[in-house]
Structure formats: structure tokens, C-alpha cells
Amino acid sequence: EIVMTQSPATLSVSPGERATLSCRASQSVSSTLAWYQQKPGQAPRLLIYGASTRATGIPARFSGSGSGTEFTLTISSLQSEDFAVYYCQQYTDWPLTFGGGTKVEIK
Amino acid sequence: EVQLLESGGGFVQPGGSLRLSCAASGFTFSSFAMTWVRQAPGKGLEWVSSISGNGGYKYYADSVKGRSAISRDNSMNTLSLQINSLRTEDTAVYYCAKEKSTWGDNWFEAWGQGTLVTVSS
């Protein structure tokens, strides 16, 4: 099983600042990585797939990068609606696995 | 607009069974793989099971393998998950999710709102 490790567990950021979230895979997943955002009481929402392709309707302030085992989700200028939990997910092999999540909170 | 509506959750005793359903609309259901993902209270996301668009491919997490069955009825646009021998650790919100294509693009571009399963004595 490919283990996905996200860091930090919690990120405190002021509105308007940049947030950088990390995701590491225990073995190479090439570019088969997705990012999701989840707000309290809501279902997850797809942000990024293919490590760097924004999903339909996702603002340009969200960007993904990386390949192999190291990935980054960057939110260039945090808006109030961006405070949430973010998960990465690999889909290169079964079982599909998620990272433990990074909570982005208001500083 | 894609809509996914889960149902079938509830309170069940350990050892019991449950059948979850997901009613899909707004897209050609048979053309897309579908997946169940669960989330225990206060915890992260856990993939449970996936099925290809024609139902020919099915995968399960080890945590439910052997006591669960994923299925789909493409004529009724419905996805199902039968879970038997339920354990307290199966307590979670169960989401159904739509994948990008009939098979192979195993990320989840649309999600339902989830149905809560509580396993307790």
C-alpha cells in the first residue's frame, strides 16, 4: 500500500497570505495525484488532478506541483472561503490512498 | 448538473448488515466509474470500493474485502454498497463519488453529501 503523508497537520495563515501544503508518497506515484478541499459538514471537493491540472471551476489561486514522491498545493492568496481541510490522494495503484489531511486555519 | 444522493445509512448493531445506495443524475451514469469513500467521525478520508462503468471491474479496501459488495444498476442510475458483518470501526459517513471516466482515472470529480452509518451495541 502506498502511504501518503501530509504536512503540516495544521497551517495557520492570515488572509491574503500564501499557503504551501505538502504531500509525500511512500513510493513514486508519477503524476497520479489529486487534491481535495473539505469544509466542515460538507463533502470533499476536487481541486487538482494529474498533480497540477485544476478541476473545472477552481480559482487560479490554487496550483499544484510535483511528481514522483513530493507534491505541493499552493494557495497564492488565501481568501476567507479557503480555510478548510485539504487532502491529497494517489491513484497510481490499488488501494487508492489519501493523506491524513492539512487543516488551514485563520492566524 | 451532476447530482449524487446517498441513502441507506442508519444505526445498526455489530454483526449486522446494511445496503447503501447512491442515486445519480445529470450525467450518463454507465459511462463513468463510481466509488465509495468513507470518513469516520473527526477522521480523514478512506477509500472503500470502486466499480467500472460497465461493472466489470471491482476493487475493495482490505478493511471491507470479503464482507462487502459493490454493484451498479445502469438502467436505474444507481450505485450500491452492501456491507455485512458490520464492526464498530465501520462507523462513518459514506460518500459516493463519480470518477472522470469509465475506468482508469481514479480521482473523484463529484461527490454526494454522504450517509451516516453508526455501528454500535
pLDDT digits over A63-79, tens only? 999 999 999 999 999 99
| Nearest partner of B90 among B33, B30, B11, B31, judged by Cα | B11
| Nearest partner of A44 among B4, B68, B83, judged by Cα | B4
What mean pLDDT is reported for chain A? 97
Taking 90 as the threshold, does the pLDDT of residue B102 lie above it? Answer: no
Under an 8 A CB cutoff, do A46 and B106 touch? no
At residue B103, the pLDDT reads 83
At residue A28, the pLDDT reads 98
pLDDT digits over B39-70, tens only? 999 999 999 999 999 999 999 999 999 999 99
B10: confidence class by pLDDT, cuts 50, 70, 90 = very high
Radius of gyration of chain A (CA): 13
Burial B11-38 (b: 16+ CB within 10 A, else e): ebeeeeebebbbbbeeeebeebbbbbbb
Cell numbers 458490520 correspond to B86
Under an 8 A CB cutoff, do A43 and B112 touch? yes
At residue B109, the pLDDT reads 96
Burial A71-104 (b: 16+ CB within 10 A, else e): bbbebeebeeebbbbbbbbbbbeebbbbbbbbbb
Under an 8 A CB cutoff, do B45 and A46 touch? no
List the single range of A97-101, B10-14, B100-104 with lowest mean pLDDT: B100-104
At residue B21, the pLDDT reads 98
Residue from A6, A85, A91, A97 whose CB has the most chain B CBs within 10 Å, to mutate: A91
pLDDT digits over A20-60, tens only? 999 999 999 999 999 999 999 999 999 999 999 999 999 99
Q: Which residue on chain B is closest to A85 by alpha carbon?
A: B44
Q: Give the Cβ contact number of residue A66 at 10 Å.
A: 19
